[in-house]
Structure 1
Amino acid sequence: MTSTKLPLPTGIKFVFGGTAGMSATMFVHPFDLVKSRMQLSGEGGAVKKNKTSFHALARVLRNEGFLGLYTGLTAGLFRQATYATTRLGVYTTLFDMMQSPDGQPPSFTTKILCGITAGAFGAVVGTPAEISLIRMTVDGSLPLEQRRGYKNVFNALYRICVEEGVFTMWRGCGPTVFRAMVVNAAQLATYSQSKQLLLSTGFFKDGISCHFCASMISGFVTALSSMPLDIAKTRIQNMRHVDGIPQYRGVLDVWVKTAHQEGFRSLWKGFSPYYLRIGPHTVLSFIVLEQLKKLYYVL
């Protein structure tokens, strides 16, 4: 059966994308914080402050209290307002453009290309918020003399510009774009494909249970494939310059140093909170997005 619904207006697609991403962030931000701290724990072969994700979580609760889990939330929300709004808006726009005249969805390959394109656009727009998020979430784990003490995302962006220069807001833009391309190719394309396959079995209807299962499949594939790029992005965006010399020269340098000093498996360090963040975030984002679409057509 083909769809007779008119495509959503372009502006609505972007608004719905941002709203879905920000709604999901309210629930999964603590996992983002734990993930960032795990990725920087033991950096350069130093003694690990956080041996496991549960250890990292316990340290935050013990040293910073429950609200410490939401340190950097303003940056997380601003990231979704920029990154998620752009990527989901671009993806849904391209998806509708690539559908056949009779409403048949585009091929899996086309979905991947739409996801890659959407991710690249979103990453460029969202990199300043990404840098603020990384720095704010790891600040509480640093020695007092090394903490940046940003008050909120706007204070972070202002101080980065004043203290380090405007272009620092796009530091690590390369790995951020590459990660986003992988994440979106995996997340958006596998979500659409998983949903399509689940519906074709006859056991699922186009409802929340189908969206949940498709999102969890998508989240696992996304976490597994993008983790090394996420670690590279995190370390580059949080690095300091010593005597004008950067700690890392690029993504490959991060991978080589991390694998040599901390072991190859360290490229997937923090996988549990990463998946616990990206899986539910995928689930919640797409559930909210799907429900907003349905509400739009009802109203």
Structure 2
Amino acid sequence: LSTDDTEYFPSFDLWDLYNNILYIYRKNGAAPGFGTKTLLGVAAGSVGAFVGTPAEVALIRMTADGRLPVEQRRNYKNVADALIRIVREEGVLKLWRGATPTVGRAMVVNAAQLSTYSQAREMFVGYVPDGITLHFCASMVSGLITTIASMPVDIIKTRIQNAAKGQSQLGVVTSLLKNEGVLSLWKGFLPYYARLGPHTVLTFIFLEQFNAAYFRMT
């Protein structure tokens, strides 16, 4: 990324899809605004989340297994065993159980994380020294906004994917709001941000360094 935001190249990191779409958009001579960046983040997040939903369903079930009563545990041996048994016992479509909130969460996370980082970076130029300091400040803003925006969707997604067999998605959400209240959607905000904040900072700092290294080699 150039400081004056006039160059962008297809990245090879976690945000490949977003960066490539943004690169193509800018290559056509247009300067995307915040709304456009948000939509690009939404598009990238939705595609990636849909593809990754089966693996996430297996992960969430395996993680929650130890907290269930012995008679309700699934006892998957590994991820491959989980995926095979889900298909055999519940049908292939169950691999995408909770795909709607999963895609929704990814859309929210990517829209918030990617677009706010890009926007904050542009806003801080001239006020914050270029380099890691600029990247750190922009990514801290991005991490905070992403945490606020994504926690409700993330909690709902996890509850749905870990729900008992036969329980509807609407039933899971209704039960959550009725029994625990709306503020439960942000329960655990500080530990969530303690995880997502540093993750966002390190991700974008490394991304910027890889981008700078790419430009030096070309």
For normalisation by structure 1, the TM-score amounts to 0.65
Matching residue within 7, 16, 22 for 2:9? 7
1:236 CA drift (Å): 0.9
Q: In the alignment, what sits opposite 1:16?
A: 13
Gaps of 5+ in 2: none
Seen in structure 2, the aligned counterparts of structure 1 residues 108 and 5 have a Cα distance that, compared at 3 Å, is: closer
Of structures 1 and 2, the one scoring higher in RCO (CA 8 A, sep 6+) is 1
Structure 1 residue 218 and structure 2 residue 177: aligned? no
Seen in structure 2, the aligned counterparts of structure 1 residues 153 and 216 have a Cα distance that, compared at 3 Å, is: farther
Q: In the alignment, what sits opposite 2:185?
A: 267
Structure 1 residue 240 and structure 2 residue 164: aligned? yes
Seen in structure 2, the aligned counterparts of structure 1 residues 255 and 7 have a Cα distance that, compared at 3 Å, is: same
Seen in structure 2, the aligned counterparts of structure 1 residues 114 and 261 have a Cα distance that, compared at 3 Å, is: same
Q: In the alignment, what sits opposite 1:93?
A: 20
Aligned-residue identity in percent = 52
State the Cα deviation string for residues 130-157 of structure 1 (Å, max 9, x = none).
2122112222222333222333322322
1:100–1:106 contact (8 Å) kept in structure 2: no
Q: In the alignment, what sits opposite 1:197?
A: 123
1:255–1:267 contact (8 Å) kept in structure 2: no
Secondary structure of the equivalent of 1:204? coil
State the Cα deviation string for residues 255-297 of structure 1 (Å, max 9, x = none).
3321211122112223223222222221222222222222223
Matching residue within 196, 200, 208 for 2:132? 208
1:4 CA drift (Å): 7.5
Q: Output the CA distance in 1 between the equivalents of 2:8 and 2:162.
A: 45
RMSD value, Cα = 2.3
1:119–1:183 contact (8 Å) kept in structure 2: yes
Q: Output the CA distance in 1 between the equivalents of 2:36 and 2:123.
A: 16
Q: Which amino acid aligns with 1:119?
A: G
Gaps of 5+ in 1: 18-87
Seen in structure 2, the aligned counterparts of structure 1 residues 107 and 4 have a Cα distance that, compared at 3 Å, is: closer
Q: Which amino acid aligns with 1:194?
A: A
State the Cα deviation string for residues 156-201 of structure 1 (Å, max 9, x = none).
2222222222111111111111111111111110011111111232
Q: In the alignment, what sits opposite 2:43?
A: 117
Seen in structure 2, the aligned counterparts of structure 1 residues 284 and 159 have a Cα distance that, compared at 3 Å, is: farther
Structure 1 residue 231 and structure 2 residue 149: aligned? no
For normalisation by structure 2, the TM-score amounts to 0.87
Q: Output the CA distance in 2 between the equivalents of 1:142 and 1:280.
A: 31
Q: Output the CA distance in 2 between the equivalents of 1:144 and 1:208.
A: 49
